[in-house]
Structure 1
Amino acid sequence: MLSKIKAVIEKIKEQRPLVHHITNYVTANDSANITLAVGASPVMASEPKEVEQMAAQAASLVLNIGTLSSLTVEAMLAAGRKAAAKGIPVIFDPVGAGATEYRTAVARRILAEVKPAVIRGNMSEITVLAGVTADIRGVDSVADESNAEKIAGQLSQKLGCVVAVTGKTDFIANGNQVRRLDNGHIMLTRVTGAGCMSSSLVGSCCAVTDAFTGAVAGVAMMGIAGEMAQQALQPGEGTGLFRMRLFDAVSRLNGELLGRYIRLS
């Protein structure tokens, strides 16, 4: 797995895959910039009249329900169905699933109609999709993460896709095969969009490799970049410069740095 992950970053830089996003307006710019930083090419088209054509040209599709509207739901379903039909991997970020009935219903509809290759969410979101009651505050997880590995595995087997639960410890499940990542830094929770950016990195990775390797690689990249960004901070510097250094760290990532930092089991 480690050798495959190292190869992913080089493939992205060589191929510069097009990653189509239909995402939320709060973090769209961050998602685009993190995609560029890793070496892929983002497009953020969300008009229902063009999303099918755009998705068909892409190497992967990222769907993020952070800021829902009836138009974006229509666009996500149309683009998702087109991508899935053409064998283009769909990465689904169920932001805030469980916070409202509408949001949860939309998430379940995307799962049913699109059948994504990867679901990446926090513990509360993944727990809700697994059919278990979970605590959530707005779009933030306050759920107990002690059962993350078990729930990720169960949901992966149920839906037949890769499930990535990100938090203090990250678990990526592909059926009964589960990988654990212990990278990251608490400062990632203090900037908007860390989860959304993780999904963009997963989308960039899945554009050049299989869904399981891509999910592990993308989540690992975000955690490692968080550590590198924090280490680069000077005394007196805080979250604003941490956010800037996060992009710098992703742009510097290569196989050697991934191998040095990754804590994978």
Structure 2
Amino acid sequence: MSYLERIRTLNPLVHNITNIVVAPFVANGLLALGASPFMAYAHEEVADVAKMSGAVVLNIGTLNKDVVQSILLAGVSANAHHVPVVLDPVGAGATSYRSEQVQLLVRELHLTILRGNVAEVANVIGEHWNSKGVDAGQGEEDRIGIAERAAQKLNCIVVITGREDVITNGHQTYLVSNGHALLTQVTGAGCLLSAVIGAFAAVATDDNELLDSVVEALAFYGIAAEIAADRTEGQGPGSFQIELLNQLDHVSPSVLQQRALIRHIHGGGGTTCV
């Protein structure tokens, strides 16, 4: 059974502390996929929600001290109860405050998965990449190298998204080529992807399956975007956004297997490459 089939059978609970700009989109995307979103922020309950969830997704998009405290409380609880933790360090490196808070989270929490663009991931591990706001910027550094160094330094899976997505645990590395440029024109497309990764991680039964589940999540999301773009060609990003939600519901395991563009470039992983 694919991880996608498991999600649609098990409907895992995914706890999201995400940014206010994208919360409804993220919740609707998880529902379309077949997961159960829980959008809890209150200090009084986030630890309880985290411990009963299949995964906890932490997003710093709209950052303040209360959000940071909620993230810490949820993350510590998830760690204590062996619940996967996904961190999306939105805009890390864009301001000193964001960089400082990300470093605090990395010190205090054990991350299962770090998902960001190359500038954000580089900032998390103290490396330089030219950055502009929450966009990746330009630079000459090796994206695969940054991802692998980050995975080794943080002892977690690292996903760097872009034209070709890099997924690595520091020993095994995959590239996923599915996706569409229209994703960059929809606010929250990356945030939703982090939540989708959380849903796939929630149904991995052990550490050996975890990397494969994340690779499948990237391929699935990219395929949904490709089909959505084809079906809304010429209509613009608004139509694409709605159709992306439709395709998160419609993409089947067989379509996923047929269309996945996955390359295994380092290590000896078990994911089937297409």
- Fold shared by both chains (TM-score > 0.5): yes
Q: Determine the structure 1 residue equivalent to 2:188.
A: 193
Distance 1:242 1:187 in 2: 8
Q: Is the 8 A contact 2:13 2:37 kept in 1?
A: yes
Q: Determine the structure 2 residue equivalent to 1:246.
A: 244
Q: Determine the structure 2 residue equivalent to 1:173.
A: 168
The 1:142–1:238 alpha-carbon spacing in structure 2 relative to 1, beyond 3 Å, is same
Among candidates 58, 79, 84, match of residue 84 of structure 1: 79
Deviation per CA, 1:81-111: give whole Å up to 9, x if none.
0001110000000000000111011111111
Distance 1:87 1:61 in 2: 11
Among candidates 248, 255, 260, match of residue 253 of structure 2: 255
Deviation per CA, 1:150-182: give whole Å up to 9, x if none.
110111011110000000110001122100001
Distance 1:61 1:143 in 2: 31
Aligned pairs (5 A) from 1:132-211: 132-144=127-139, 147-209=142-204, 210-211=209-210
Q: Secondary structure at the match of 1:99?
A: coil
RMSD, matched Cα: 1.2
Aligned pairs (5 A) from 1:88-103: 88-103=83-98
Distance 2:79 2:250 in 1: 32
Q: Secondary structure at the match of 1:42?
A: strand
Deviation per CA, 1:165-220: give whole Å up to 9, x if none.
00011000112210000111111111111110110100010000143123212222
Q: Determine the structure 1 residue equivalent to 2:216.
A: 217
Which 4+ runs in 1 deviate beyond 4 A?
none
The 1:109–1:118 alpha-carbon spacing in structure 2 relative to 1, beyond 3 Å, is same
Q: Secondary structure at the match of 2:2?
A: helix
In structure 2, what residue type is equivalent to 1:44?
Answer: M
Q: Is the 8 A contact 2:92 2:99 kept in 1?
A: yes
Distance 1:111 1:164 in 2: 16
Q: Determine the structure 1 residue equivalent to 2:105.
A: 110
Q: Is the 8 A contact 1:120 1:163 kept in 2?
A: yes
Deviation (angstroms), 1:130: 2.3
Q: Is the 8 A contact 1:123 1:145 kept in 2?
A: no
Q: Is the 8 A contact 1:123 1:143 kept in 2?
A: no
Q: Give the count of matched residue pairs.
A: 259
Deviation per CA, 1:8-41: give whole Å up to 9, x if none.
0000011001000001000111111111111000
**Greater relative contact order (Cα < 8 A, sep 6+):** 1
Distance 1:59 1:126 in 2: 24
Q: Determine the structure 2 residue equivalent to 1:13.
A: 8
Q: Determine the structure 1 residue equivalent to 2:269.
A: none
Q: Secondary structure at the match of 1:140?
A: coil
Q: Is the 8 A contact 2:129 2:141 kept in 1?
A: no
Q: Determine the structure 2 residue equivalent to 1:3.
A: none
Q: Determine the structure 1 residue equivalent to 2:20.
A: 25
Distance 1:118 1:143 in 2: 24
In structure 2, what residue type is equivalent to 1:193?
Answer: G
Distance 1:251 1:155 in 2: 32
Deviation (angstroms), 1:65: 0.2
In structure 1, what residue type is equivalent to 2:218?
Answer: V
Q: Is the 8 A contact 1:99 1:137 kept in 2?
A: yes
Give unmatched runs, 5+ long, in structure 1: 1-5
TM-score by length of 2: 0.92
Further displaced range: 211-220 or 125-134: 211-220
Aligned pairs (5 A) from 1:20-99: 20-99=15-94
TM-score by length of 1: 0.95
- Percent of counterpart pairs with the same letter? 39
Distance 1:48 1:143 in 2: 38
Q: Is the 8 A contact 1:123 1:144 kept in 2?
A: no
The 1:95–1:254 alpha-carbon spacing in structure 2 relative to 1, beyond 3 Å, is same
Deviation (angstroms), 1:146: 5.8
In structure 2, what residue type is equivalent to 1:214?
Answer: S
Distance 1:80 1:211 in 2: 18
